[in-house]
Structure 1
Amino acid sequence: MRNLNEDTITQAVLARHADMSDERLQEIMTSLVRHLHDFAREVRLTEQEWEQGIKFLTETGHTCSDKRQEFILLSDTLGLSTLVTAQNNRKPDGCTEATVFGPFHVENSPEHALGDDIANGARGEPCFVRGMVRDILGKPVPHAMMEVWQADEDGFYDVQYPELDALQGRATLHADADGTFHFRSIVANPYPIPHDGPVGRMLAALGRHPWRPAHLHFLIKAEGYETLITHVFRDGDPYLDSDAVFGVRSTLVADWVRHEPGIAPDGTQMKVPFYTLDYDFVLNPVSSER
């Protein structure tokens, strides 16, 4: 087809997809093309603006590495990650809500026994975390696998330190037969997402801050239940209502309780102040309707 113009180009592109064998891919690409073309028409996109957009996406790709995923940051800060998470994780009332995955998860994190100090040298005030994994009827979920990860007191994850020889502030744990779990870590603090790259410059141009409220990440799996990816947020944090990645849910906010030096929940004599966090997770059975 020749001599296409701004009124005919969209249908010409879609016609090229007519023989696609993958119906789902055809559905996605048809909608993508229509929305992209409608966007360009709506804002009357200039050639210079189009070139700047291409440069931005190219730089975003160049910023990605095995330690940093700039495209996830872009998706997070535009609210797309939260939208996709929400529409794919509808759960009955009473189940722990899901939230964004984030860019700092690591496959095959170190296995730890319950009660271990998973900080493994990460800087921060000591914190003892405990709780239960159960189902919506209150029944314990035995031996649930839990991955936990968090930033240190300076706001950095272990993978952001190229000089580290061992992972810190993350672990794979398994709940007891009665669904309970406990471990030692460090206090969660607010931190800015990496903002020295294209996503950071985008936020600055939009007049937005890069801060996330203090939180712990959890990924929980158990046979017969939907996998849960979520955070637990620290109550009182100044960024709970302006999270840079739109991930906060009221049901996920909990209190980190400060204690003076003394006996910790695991029996350790603490010479410095410490914190405790108690939080239970409620999993949704696989068979439950969304």
Structure 2
Amino acid sequence: MTTTESDAPTAAGSGSSASQAFRTAAREATAVPPERVDEVARAVLAGVHQAIREHDVTYPEFQAAKQWLMDVGEGGEWPLFLDVFVEHVVEEVAARTQDGTKGSIQGPYYLPGQAKLPWQAALPMRPGEKGTPLVFTGQVRDVAGDPVAAAELDVWHADDDGYYSGFAPGIPDGNLRGVVVSNGHGWFEITSVRPAPYQIPTDGPTGKLIAAAGWHAWRPAHLHLIVRAPGYRTITTQLYFPGGEWLDSDVAEATKPELVLDLRPQEDGPLRAEYDFVLERA
């Protein structure tokens, strides 16, 4: 199985898919008091004004920035840009009042409504799915150490080429995605393939900013998970592979030492990874 250039996701295609997924996701309306809107909006604008003053931003630079902001909106790239460059700080603030497993960003490639699977299951994949076979095991517990039965582990990740189903052409819907339900003792065992690092799409305005600033556009290989159970705080996180490329320079700044997997290579058989999740009461 090979990936051709025509199979690669474009910024426009990924942006459109991410925007559509965001708009269609079930979200509770949040009533924000005017005082809070005033406080945060003024702070954001003050930060922008201060940057302009400190760096002597010129009119041509201001007009270029205005054009770039318009291009991001027209290309549907706001979910991509915000999830890569802003979400990690929102998650950092939320983590100040949370116990249990460390969280991380959700990112733009989540798709709800995936197939529910038993505690021992293989994620849906193509026949002969390319990549190193991976078995991911662990237990879901509460902060007291007691197992959490029937916890849902909503799992998704990139394939061996670094592409996500639903966001790249030629990949079946639901590929390498699923909702695994832990057993009565909180255990789970998920069979999949090791994901590859991936480059966020660079052919749109987000990519132009990255190139203009001389940054790289790579994220280290990772598994995405949303872990939930009735009566517990839902955890959204990512798990990374030790020694992986870009682990120390993630463009999204979302890596944490606590989220690096315990890998156990096998002489015969798949790569094995272990991680336990700890949920706190809601």
Q: Which residue of 2 aligns with 1:13?
A: none
Q: Which residue of 2 aligns with 1:85?
A: 91
Q: Which residue of 2 aligns with 1:206?
A: 213
The runs of 5 or more residues in structure 2 that have no matched partner are 1-31
- The number of residue pairs the alignment matches comes to 249
TM-score of the superposed pair, with normalisation by structure 1? 0.79
Q: Does the 8 Å CA contact 1:119/1:186 hold for their aligned counterparts?
A: no
Match runs of 1:138-149 below 5 Å: 138-149=145-156
**In 1, distance between residues paired with 2:115 and 2:212?**
39
**In 2, distance between residues paired with 1:255 and 1:110?**
27
2:54 maps to 1:42: yes
The SS at the match of 1:30 is helix
1:32 partner amino acid:
V
Aligned structure 1 segments of 4 or more residues deviating by more than 6 angstroms = none
The SS at the match of 1:259 is coil
Identity %: 32
Q: Quote the RMSD (CA, aligned, Å).
A: 2.0
2:267 maps to 1:274: no
What are the Cα deviations for residues 201-225 of structure 1, in whole angstroms up to 9, with x where unaligned?
2222222211111110000111222
Higher relative contact order (CA 8 A, sep 6+): 2
What are the Cα deviations for residues 143-194 of structure 1, in whole angstroms up to 9, with x where unaligned?
1111000000001011222344422011112111211111211112222122
1:61, distance to aligned residue in structure 2 (A): 1.7
Q: Does the 8 Å CA contact 1:76/1:246 hold for their aligned counterparts?
A: no
Q: Which one has a bigger Cα radius of gyration?
A: 1
1:247, distance to aligned residue in structure 2 (A): 0.8
The SS at the match of 2:189 is strand
The SS at the match of 1:251 is helix
TM-score of the superposed pair, with normalisation by structure 2? 0.81
1:37, distance to aligned residue in structure 2 (A): 2.7
1:76, distance to aligned residue in structure 2 (A): 4.2
**In 2, distance between residues paired with 1:52 and 1:46?**
10
The change in CA–CA distance for 1:169 and 1:21 in structure 2 (over 3 A counts) is closer
The change in CA–CA distance for 1:193 and 1:111 in structure 2 (over 3 A counts) is same
Q: Does the 8 Å CA contact 1:134/1:179 hold for their aligned counterparts?
A: yes
The SS at the match of 2:272 is strand
The SS at the match of 2:116 is coil
**In 2, distance between residues paired with 1:151 and 1:165?**
13
1:244 partner amino acid:
V
2:99 maps to 1:98: no
1:62 partner amino acid:
E
2:104 partner amino acid:
T
What are the Cα deviations for residues 36-73 of structure 1, in whole angstroms up to 9, with x where unaligned?
33333332322211111111112212222xxxxx3233
Which stretch of the first structure deviates more once superposed, 34-43 or 275-284?
Answer: 34-43
1:21, distance to aligned residue in structure 2 (A): 7.0
Match runs of 1:81-160 below 5 Å: 81-90=87-96, 95-121=100-126, 122-160=129-167
Q: Which residue of 2 aligns with 1:171?
A: 178
